[in-house]
Chains A and B, each alone.
Chain A
Amino acid sequence: MTEERIATNLRKGVLEYCVLALLSHGEKYGLELADDLTTRGLIASEGSLYPLLARMRENGLVEPRWDASGTGRPRRYYAITDDGTGQLTTFAQVWASLGAQVDALLEGSR
């Protein structure tokens, strides 16, 4: 139970950067993104992805577009914006230094 709580708290902080990281490899549609995040154990269901995307869209980090080229109903693809790429770069730096600090601390306490 405590393990789950720690994991939930940590995930909450990094989730949007994980979305940015996934999109930095190319645009993805909602379910594709959701499946990817679910497989990695980052979200429990699609229900928490779209609210997050709504905020990221509002903050100009991602941009949706409709694609009607395929067969069947049109798909809604999400792409990372320049602002989003900037955020991701900053996050990567913070994560690297923070991660190193935490690792060093854990190493020392063992």
Chain B
Amino acid sequence: MTENITMTERTAMNANTEGAYLRDVGKRLRALTPEQRDAVLDDVRAHFADAADAGRTPEQAAESLGDPAQFTERVRTELGHERGQTDRMRRVLQWLATGVAVFSAMFVSFWHPDDSLPMPNTQFEAHGFGIVLLSLVPALIAALPNFASSRARTVFTAAVAIMLSVVSFTFPEGWAFAPTAWLAWAALVVPVIARNGPPAAGWRIAGGVLAVLPMALGVGGALVGSWGLTLESVLYTAVVAALGVLMALGKPWAGIILAVVGVAALVYSALDPGMLTSGVWWAGGLFITLGASQALMHARPRTPGRM
């Protein structure tokens, strides 16, 4: 630094260091309530002012607080926002994956007609009870990480997501287990996205757009004449599109509704297996995955218990 820096330049530099520090801290404390976050930011602002009065440079003031990552980690620990929150997201998604896998197993064993088999053409009628147990294996795999030690959990979660993806791609009935695989991936990714609090706008918009994707494909197919465009399908599309927008805006209840719509889609396509079964099934799985992930990431943080 040269000696002949003007006063204005110095003020601008000071404001830069402080502003950058404040922005970084604010970003990393999104998991807190707005009141908690504002109070911490006020402390930091006051600290820079105190330090300036004491003749310290903003760099020294920032240094004494520690780097923003370290500082905010301490704040979160003190306020009881450690791993708990994101761990809960992972757990809920993994149990959802397990639940959906059980339903998928019932579907492929009892309800889904396999045209390659002689009548009556379900797997259970053809192969007996063994096939039911076999199709429950993905559910067992999906539940595994919940029993792993906290140290091994991330590795387990990743391994399970990969395994379930392989299952859904390689086995003849694997397509029915794709929603389980997606939920397993969500269990791995969602805690990372939400580690500092509700997801950034980019993630929210991506989630909303993905949610509308199946309906967009449906309408697209109708427009090019692959199938008829009914009033019902237009209504469904409008509802899902609205939910997608609300999800992008960060409304957790929109995610919950979408997940419920997803469950309804799974049940509907299981009980009425028609031409579009796999399409409706996948759309249902996608709705559950996106809806549950979004709702979990936006759930209001619990406030620390009073002493």
Decide if A50 touches B49 in the complex (CB within 8 Å). Answer: no
Decide if B49 touches A51 in the complex (CB within 8 Å). Answer: no
Binds B, one of A1-9, A17-25, A57-65, A99-107: A57-65
Decide if A30 touches B46 in the complex (CB within 8 Å). Answer: yes
A47 to B77, CA, bound (A): 13
Decide if A64 touches B42 in the complex (CB within 8 Å). Answer: yes
Residues of A in contact with B, size category: 20 to 34
Decide if A30 touches B79 in the complex (CB within 8 Å). Answer: no
A72 to B64, CA, bound (A): 21
**Closest A residue, CB atoms, query B70:** A47
Task: Verify if B125 is at the interface (C-beta below 8 Å from A).
Answer: no
Task: Verify if B53 is at the interface (C-beta below 8 Å from A).
Answer: yes
**Interfacial residues of chain A within 43-96, with CB under 8 A of chain B in the complex:** 45-48, 50-55, 57-61, 64, 66, 72-76, 87
Inter-chain contacts of A54 with B (CB < 8 A): 36, 39-40, 43, 75, 78-79
Decide if B54 touches A52 in the complex (CB within 8 Å). Answer: no
Decide if A50 touches B40 in the complex (CB within 8 Å). Answer: yes
Decide if B75 touches A45 in the complex (CB within 8 Å). Answer: no
B233 to chain A, nearest CB (A): 50
Decide if A59 touches B307 in the complex (CB within 8 Å). Answer: yes
Given that A47-B66, A51-B75 are known contacts, is A76 also in contact with B43, CB under 8 Å in the complex? Answer: yes
A66 to B45, CA, bound (A): 11
Which one of B53, B70, B307 contacts A73 once the chains associate, using CB atoms below 8 Å?
Answer: B53
Find the residue from B46, B52, B306 having the highest chain A CB count within 10 A. Answer: B46
Which one of A31, A57, A59, A61 contacts B54 once the chains associate, using CB atoms below 8 Å?
Answer: A31
Which one of A47, A53, A55, A66 contacts B71 once the chains associate, using CB atoms below 8 Å?
Answer: A47
Decide if B66 touches A75 in the complex (CB within 8 Å). Answer: no
A31 to B50, CA, bound (A): 6
Task: Verify if B74 is at the interface (C-beta below 8 Å from A).
Answer: yes
Which one of A58, A72, A75 contacts B36 once the chains associate, using CB atoms below 8 Å?
Answer: A58
A44 to B51, CA, bound (A): 16
**Interfacial residues of chain B within 46-73, with CB under 8 A of chain A in the complex:** 46-47, 49-54, 64-66, 70-71
Which one of B44, B45, B47, B70 contacts A31 once the chains associate, using CB atoms below 8 Å?
Answer: B47
Decide if B75 touches A50 in the complex (CB within 8 Å). Answer: yes
Inter-chain contacts of B46 with A (CB < 8 A): 29-30, 74-76
Q: 25 A-B contacts, Cβ less than 8 Å apart?
A: A31-B50, A31-B51, A32-B50, A45-B66, A46-B47, A47-B71, A48-B74, A51-B74, A51-B75, A51-B77, A51-B78, A53-B43, A54-B39, A54-B79, A55-B79, A58-B36, A58-B79, A58-B303, A58-B306, A60-B306, A66-B42, A72-B52, A74-B46, A75-B46, A76-B46
Known: A64-B39, A73-B52. 12 other contacts (CB 8 A): A46-B47, A46-B65, A48-B74, A50-B71, A51-B71, A58-B79, A58-B304, A64-B42, A72-B49, A72-B53, A73-B49, A73-B53
